[in-house]
Amino acid sequence: MTEPLLTPDAGGLYCRAGNFWIDPLRAVPRSVITHAHADHARSGAAEVVTAKPGIPVLTHRIGEPDDLTGLDYGESIEMGDTRVTLFPAGHILGSATVRIESEHGTWGVSGDFKRAPDPTCEAFAPYPCDVWVSECTFGLPVYRWPSPREVVADILSWWGACKAADRPAVLFCYALGKAQRVLSELAAAGVTETVWLHGAMIPLTECYRQQGIALPPTLPATEADKGEKFKGQLVLAPPSASGSPWMRRFPKHSAGFVSGWMRIRGNRRRRGYDRGFVLSDHADWPDLVQTAADMQARKVITIHGNGESLVRHLKDQGLEAESWNLRQTLAPAKSESESA
Amino acid sequence: MKDFAALFDRLDQTTATNAKVAALVDYFKAAPPEDAAWAVYFLTGRRLKRLVNTRELREWTAGASGLALWLIEESYEHVGDLAETMHLLLPPAQLKPDLSRLSEIIETAIQPLAKMEDDERQEQVTQLWQEFDGTERFLINKLLTGGFRVGVSKRLVTRALAEVAGVDSSLVAHRLMGKGTPNADFYQRLIADQADVDFEQSTPYPFFLASPLEQELEHLGDAQDWQAEWKWDGIRAQLIRRAGQTWIWSRGEERMDGRFPELETAAEALPDGTVLDGEIMAWRDGAPLPFSVLQTRIGRKKPGKVTLEKAPVVLLAYDCLEFGGEDLRECPLEARMDALEQALPENNARLQPSAQVRFSDWNELPAQRDRSRELGVEGLMLKRKSSPYRVGRKRGDWWKWKVEPYTFDGVMIYAQPGHGRRSNLFTDYTFAVHDGEQLVPVAKAYSGLTQKEIDRLDRWIRNNTKERFGPVRSVEPMQVFELAFEGISHSPRHKSGIALRFPRIHRWREDLTRKDADSLNDLKKLLGSAGSKSDSE
C-alpha cells in the first residue's frame, strides 16, 4: 500500500506529493483555500491558491497573502508532483472543490458544498475521482432540505405578517454567503425595498454586489434615522448579534434564523428563535449520498461534522469509507490522562 | 386537523404568553366543540393510551423510508423526539387538501388501532403518513407516541377557555379537574357560562401551591396574622367524601383510588360533602417514616398485606375546602381551620390534623425550622390567616420555608441527551463518588445549570466520550459538581446502597478535580442523622 495522498495536519489536509495544505488553520508555507469562511481560511500562508471569484471576499477576510494565485474553475496548476484543479462547490461565491491528480491517484476534496440552486454562485460540478473527501456537516437522514423556493416564500410571508403587526422582522443568518443568498433570492422574488444590515455584513455584501450579483438596496441599521423603530422592516444580522445591545434598536421584533439546523425543532426552540427557515449552504443527506455516487469514487472520507453515520451507510452500500477528524490535529499534545 | 396544526404552529412560534392565549382563544372560538374537546385534552397534558409501541413505529419508519433501522435509531438519538424523527425521515406525502377534522382522525383512524391486528395497524399508520405532511404529520406522530408538550401550561389553556366562556378562570380550572371523555358535551360544559353546571362527584378542587420564601420574615408583616405548620415530605393529596363515596387525588391530578385503602376506610367517618387538603405520609408511632418507605406505596395500585404493614400511611390534613357540601375556598384560612376541626373524626389515627407550630414572634421561627431534620420534615409552611384558598401558584399568602439542603461533590461519569427542548443536547447526568479505588454512581440530575454551562458541558462531553451505550455516553471522570439533595436512605436497589432524595446540581466546580469528589462513606455518615432514618427502624 502506498501512503494516502492526503493526511490530516494543521487543522486541514496536507498533500506531501504536492507539498501544500488544503484549508489549514495554522500558518503553513503554501495552501489551497476552498472558500473564505473562517473555519477554512486563515491568514499566515505565504503562498495561497484559490478560485478567482472568491478572491475579493477572501482578501477582505484574511488580507493579501505575499503570493496569491487565482484560478478559474477548471483551470489547472502544477504543484510539486501533482496537478491541482478547482471546480465550483456551489457553497458560497467563489467556493471550490479541489481535484488533485497524482501518481497516487486522483482525489477530490470538498471544502463545503451544496447541490441546491443558489443565485450567488456557480453550481457544484462533479468529476470522477478515486477518493472523494466529503464534508459531512449534516450527516443524518433527518437533514433533508425543502426547496429554496418554498423557504423563500415562507420568509416573505413571515415578513408580511411582521408588516401587518408593525413589528421589525429580524432575520439571523451567517454574514458571509447566507446573507447574500437570502438577499439575492429576495431580489429575484421582486423585493425592491431597502433591507437593513448589521455592520458585519456590509463589506461582504458590497463584494457580492461588485461582482454583479443582483441584490435589493441595503443600508446599515446604524444609519437609520434617530428614533426609527423599524416597524415592518426587514433586518439581517449574524447569529452573534442575538442578545447583544445592538438588538435594542428593534423593539418587539420577531426573530427568524435561516439555517439547515432549523430542520430540528429543538434547535430552534433552544436558541429562542420565533421562526426557523431551513435554507442551508451545505449538502443535505440525500445530496451527500448522491454526490458520493456522482464522483464515482471507490472510497469516501468524511471531514467536518460527524461522519460516522454516513460512513456506515456508504459501507452498507459497498463503498469504502472512513471518517477523519481534522480538528484533532489542532489539539495540543496530549497531557497525561487523569484516570488510572 | 389543519386548524389544530395551525394552532400548534402559532403556539410554537412565540414565547409571549399573551400571544399564546390569543392563539388559543382564536382556535377555541372557531373550532367545532368535538375538536375543541380533543384540543383541550391534549393541551392540558392528557394522552391517549399507548396504541402502538415505539419499536413498531421505528420499524415501520424504516420500511416507509427505505432507511436501515440503525439509521432510524441514530437519527432519533440526534433529534431526541421520536415523533419528530419519524416525520423528518418519512418521504414527503402525496398532499391532498386536508379536510379532515381532529376528532375524526383520532376517533376513526387512531383510536381503532387498539383493536387491530399487527399488519392492519402498520397499514393504517403508513397510510396516515402518506396522507399527511408538515405539522399535521408531526402531530399525528405525537398522538401515536403519547406525549404532547407545546410550551403551553394548563394555566394558559384555562385562561383562554375562561375568556371564551366569559367566566372566572378558577371556575374553568375546577371544571378541568374532572376527567370527562373528550366530546362535544365535555367541551360545552367547560365553557358553560353558569357556575352551577352539574359536576361529577369525584371532581376535586384545583390545588393551591406555596411559593418559596425569598424575603425576610419581618417583611411578611405582623406575626399574629400568620400561621406556621411543618412542611411534610409526603404526597400532597385531596380527599373527597361525597355521596357516601371516597376519592383521593394527587397534586398531579391523578386519582389514587385503591392505593390507600386504610385512608378510604378512615374517610367513612367523615360527614358527606367534605373535601380535605393534606399530605399523605408514611407514619408510625406519631412520627414520619422516611420518604423511601412511602415510595413503596406509590407504585402499588393494590397494596398487599405486607406492604400495608410495613408502610402504614396517614393523611395529615391542613385545609378543609368543602364542608357540609359547601365550597369554603373563599372563606379565610382561620374559618377553614375551624371547619377542619369539625370535620375530622376524633382520635382517628389515620386522619389527623397537621400539627401547627405555635409562635408569637418571628424570631422564634428560625430555631423551630432548625429542628426540621430531627423531626423528619422539609421545613416550615407559612400561611396568612385571612387568605382564601387560591388556585395554582399565586404568591403572597402561602410560603414554604425549607431547610438548607445537604450538599456533596460528585464527579460526572455518564451523560445522556434530554428530551423536547433539550433534545440533542447532553443534559441528563449521572454523578459518582469515591468508594475505595472505584467510583460508584449515587445520583442522576437534570437541572441546575445555566444554558451557557449546558452548552459548554455538552461540547466537553462530545470531546471526552469514552464509550457509547445507546444514547448514554460514559465520559472521562474529570468534571466535579456540587450537588444538593433533601434526604438520604438505605436502598438495596442501588449499587451504592443509598438513595438520595431530589438531587440537583448546585454548581459546576471547575476548581475541583476528580480526587476532590466526596466518598461514599461521607454520604453514609448522613444516614445516621435523624430525619434520614433507615427503613429498618
Q: DSSP for A225-288?
A: PTT---TT-EEEE-GGGTTSGGGGGSTT-EEEEESGGGGSHHHHHHHT-SEEE---SS--HHHH
Residue type at A166 in one-letter notation: D
**Interchain CB distance below 8 Å, B71 and A337:** no
From residue A248, give the alpha-carbon distance in Å to each of A199, A230, B19: 15, 11, 21
Of A141, A144, A267, the CB nearest to B71: A141
**How far is B482 from B505, CA to CA, in rounded Å?**
6
**Interchain CB distance below 8 Å, B514 and A316:** no
Of A264, A272, A313, the CB nearest to B79: A264
Residue type at A11 in one-letter notation: G
Distance of CA A230 to the CA centre of its chain: 30
Cβ contact A72:A84 at 8 Å: no
Residue type at B294 in one-letter notation: L
**Interchain CB distance below 8 Å, B424 and A309:** no
3-state secondary structure at position B410: strand
Structure ipTM over 0.85, yes or no? yes
Of B231, B400, B444, B466, the catalytic one is B231
Residue type at B35 in one-letter notation: D
Mutate to test the interface with A, among B78, B95, B421 (most CBs of A within 10 A): B78
Q: Does A228 touch chain B (CB under 8 A)?
A: no
DSSP string over B257-284: TTT-HHHHHHHTTSPSSEEEEEEEEEEE
As a residue count, chain A comes to 340
**Which residues of chain B neighbour A270 with C-beta distances below 8 Å?**
421-422, 425, 451
Distance of CA B209 to the CA centre of its chain: 13
CA-nearest of B300, B67, B342 to A142 is B67
Mutate to test the interface with A, among B9, B10, B423 (most CBs of A within 10 A): B423
pLDDT of residue B197: 54
pLDDT of residue B299: 75
- Residue range A304-333, pLDDT digits in tens: 887 899 999 999 999 999 999 886 655 443
Q: Looking at chain A, which residues constitute the CATH 3.60.15.10 domain(s)?
A: 6-142+282-330
CA-nearest of B378, B407, B379 to B523 is B407
Phi, psi of B166 (to 5 degrees): 70, 30
**Which residues of chain A neighbour B78 with C-beta distances below 8 Å?**
140, 142, 264
Cβ contact B369:B334 at 8 Å: no
**How far is A194 from B218, CA to CA, in rounded Å?**
59
**Which residues of chain A neighbour B13 with C-beta distances below 8 Å?**
274-275
Q: For the sheet with A6-9, list strands across it.
A: A6-9, A12-15, A20-22, A30-32, A47-51, A67-71
pLDDT of residue B536: 36
3-state secondary structure at position A222: helix
Mutate to test the interface with A, among B67, B74, B439 (most CBs of A within 10 A): B74
Q: Does B536 touch chain A (CB under 8 A)?
A: no
**Interchain CB distance below 8 Å, B424 and A140:** no
**How far is A91 from A118, CA to CA, in rounded Å?**
8
- Residue range B418-436, pLDDT digits in tens: 765 566 788 899 999 999 9
Q: Using only C-alpha atoms, what is the Rg of chain B? A: 26
Of A140, A337, A339, the CB nearest to B75: A140
Give the residues across from A97 on adjacent strands. Answer: A87, A110
As a residue count, chain B comes to 537
The C-alpha of A223 sits at a distance from chain B's nearest C-alpha, in angstroms, of 29
CA-nearest of A249, A201, A205 to A224 is A249
3-state secondary structure at position A109: strand
What is the grid cell recorded at B135? 405539522
pLDDT of residue B194: 66
**How far is B384 from A189, CA to CA, in rounded Å?**
63
Q: Does B420 touch chain A (CB under 8 A)?
A: yes
DSSP B15: -
Which residues, 6+ apart, have CB-to-CB distance to B58 below 8 Å? B69, B72, B73, B76, B82, B86
**How far is B509 from B281, CA to CA, in rounded Å?**
36
Query: Which segments in chain B show pLDDT lower than 50?
Result: 530-537
**How far is B429 from A93, CA to CA, in rounded Å?**
43
What is the grid cell recorded at B430? 449521572
CA count, 13 A, side-chain hemisphere, A191: 25
Residue type at B486 in one-letter notation: E
pTM of the model as a whole: 0.75
**How far is B183 from B114, CA to CA, in rounded Å?**
19
Cβ contact B491:B498 at 8 Å: yes
pLDDT of residue B6: 94
CA-nearest of B493, B512, B490 to B501 is B490
Which residues, 6+ apart, have CB-to-CB distance to B43 below 8 Å? B24, B148, B150, B152, B154, B157
pLDDT of residue B155: 87
DSSP string over B220-254: G--GGGEEEEEE--SEEEEEEEETTEEEEEETTS-
Of A141, A269, A337, the CB nearest to B67: A141
pLDDT of residue B420: 58
Name the burial class of residue B511, with classes exposed (0-12), middle (13-18) and buried (19+) by CB atoms within 10 angstroms of its CB: exposed
Interface of A with B in 28-67 (CB under 8 A): none
Q: Looking at chain A, which residues constitute the CATH 3.40.50 domain(s)?
A: 148-277
pLDDT of residue B463: 87
**How far is A87 from A96, CA to CA, in rounded Å?**
5
Of B15, B85, B478, the CB nearest to A142: B85
**Interchain CB distance below 8 Å, B425 and A338:** no
Q: For the sheet with A105-110, list strands across it.
A: A76-79, A82-88, A96-102, A105-110, A131-135, A299-303, A320-323
The C-alpha of A147 sits at a distance from chain B's nearest C-alpha, in angstroms, of 12
Domain at A148-277, CATH from 3.30.70, 2.130.10, 3.40.50, 3.40.1350: 3.40.50
Which residues, 6+ apart, have CB-to-CB distance to B143 below 8 Å? B42, B48, B106, B110
Helix axis angle, B2-12 relative to B33-43, nearest 10°?
A: 40
Q: Does A334 touch chain B (CB under 8 A)?
A: no
Q: Which residue of B has its CA nearest to A325?
A: B463
Cβ contact A287:A137 at 8 Å: no
Cβ contact B165:B172 at 8 Å: yes
**How far is A168 from B61, CA to CA, in rounded Å?**
41
Q: Which residue of B has its CA nearest to A312?
A: B71
**Interchain CB distance below 8 Å, A264 and B477:** no
Q: Does A299 touch chain B (CB under 8 A)?
A: no
What is the grid cell recorded at B257? 383510588
**Interchain CB distance below 8 Å, A140 and B74:** yes
In total, the C-beta contacts within 8 angstroms joining chain A to chain B are 66
The C-alpha of A276 sits at a distance from chain B's nearest C-alpha, in angstroms, of 9
pLDDT of residue A2: 61
Of A265, A337, A340, the CB nearest to B84: A265
Contacts 24+ apart (CB under 8 A), B252-260: B253/B177, B253/B204, B255/B179, B255/B202, B258/B301, B258/B302, B259/B297, B259/B298, B259/B300, B259/B301, B259/B302, B259/B303, B260/B297, B260/B313
Q: Does A248 touch chain B (CB under 8 A)?
A: no
- Residue range B174-231, pLDDT digits in tens: 888 777 789 998 899 888 876 655 567 888 898 999 999 888 888 999 999 999 999 9
Q: Does A167 touch chain B (CB under 8 A)?
A: no
Mutate to test the interface with B, among A159, A262, A264 (most CBs of B within 10 A): A264
CATH superfamily of A6-142+282-330: Ribonuclease Z/Hydroxyacylglutathione hydrolase-like (3.60.15.10)
**How far is A102 from A80, CA to CA, in rounded Å?**
10
Q: Does B469 touch chain A (CB under 8 A)?
A: no
Query: Which segments in chain A show pLDDT lower than 70?
Result: 1-2, 327-340
Q: Does B465 touch chain A (CB under 8 A)?
A: no
pLDDT of residue A334: 36
Cβ contact B239:B248 at 8 Å: yes
Domains delineated in chain B: 2-145 (1.10.3260.10), 211-402 (3.30.470.30), 406-528 (2.40.50.140)
**Interchain CB distance below 8 Å, A338 and B514:** yes
Of B65, B78, B425, the CB nearest to A270: B425
Name the burial class of residue B173, with classes exposed (0-12), middle (13-18) and buried (19+) by CB atoms within 10 angstroms of its CB: buried
**Which residues of chain B neighbour A266 with C-beta distances below 8 Å?**
79-81, 84, 420-425
CA-nearest of B72, B103, B90, B87 to B136 is B87
Active site annotation includes B525 = no
